[in-house]
């Protein structure tokens, strides 16, 4: 498997409850390296652009409001098969369906306030990383 990068967000429900360190420990415990990280307050425009793919969904407004309700931590994770591996570590979108040992099982409050985002493919990862990081901020 190839060395890959994926984009991660520690969402407002998690930063608010001081779960950044716990989530980072789970990420690193799974063998993924955090090669870039910053805590930001997302703007409405950034959140709308980031989740543009969900624009037509009934939960879009709620999702954008949630993502700007408190600071988030944006990250680039690197490792063998990082995209799929992080999706595995995150667990199912709805914490009620998430497997034991996953971040969402351990931390998420609901299907909306589900603690983390992870890219769903290598192509989307590249686009998402470029939305929040410049090349010299990522040190592998
Ligand atoms: P993410 O893209 O954040 O990593 P995901 O890929 O597991 O999550 P998506 O289907 O892409 O899930 O949905 C994006 C986000 O929209 C979810 O993580 C969640 O915060 C929110 N969301 C999804 N479905 C619902 C829903 N039915 N009600 C409220 N919010 C939802
Ligand atoms: Mg998604």
Q: Is the CB of 88 under 6 A from ligand 1?
A: no
Tokens 């493919």 sit on residue: 121
CA of 68 to the centre of ligand 2 (A): 17
**pLDDT by 10s per residue, the chain, length 140:** 789 999 999 999 999 999 999 999 999 999 999 999 999 999 999 999 999 999 999 999 999 999 999 999 999 999 999 999 999 999 999 999 999 999 999 999 999 999 999 999 999 999 999 999 999 999 99
Cross-strand pairs, 78: 5, 33
Q: What is the pLDDT of residue 43?
A: 98
Give which of 86, 75, 2, 63 is closest to 38, Cα–Cα. 75
pTM confidence score: 0.97
Q: Choose, from 12, 117, 119, 128, the residue flagged as catalytic.
A: 117
Which of 27, 82, 83, 93 maximizes ligand 1 atoms within 8 Å of its Cβ, making it the mutation to test the pocket? 93
DSSP state for residue 30 in the 8-state scheme:
T
Q: Which residues contact 12 (CB under 8 A, 6 or more apart)?
A: 66, 67, 68, 69, 70, 71, 72, 113
Angle at 62 between CA 97 and CA 85, to 5 degrees: 40
Q: What is the pLDDT of residue 1?
A: 74
């Amino acid at each position: 498997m190839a060395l890959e990068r994926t984009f991660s967000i520690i969402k407002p429900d998690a930063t608010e409850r001081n779960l950044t360190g716990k989530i980072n420990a789970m990420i690193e415990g799974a063998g993924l390296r955090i090669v870039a990280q910053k805590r930001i307050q997302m703007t409405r425009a950034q959140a709308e652009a980031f989740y543009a793919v969900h624009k037509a969904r009934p939960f879009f407004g709620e999702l954008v409001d949630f993502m700007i309700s408190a600071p988030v931590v944006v990250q680039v994770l690197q490792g063998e098969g990082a995209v799929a591996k992080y999706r595995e570590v995150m667990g199912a979108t709805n914490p009620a369906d998430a497997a034991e040992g996953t971040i969402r099982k351990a931390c998420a409050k609901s299907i909306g306030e589900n603690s983390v985002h992870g890219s769903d493919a290598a192509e989307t990862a590249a686009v998402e990383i470029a939305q929040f990081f410049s090349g010299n901020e990522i040190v592998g």
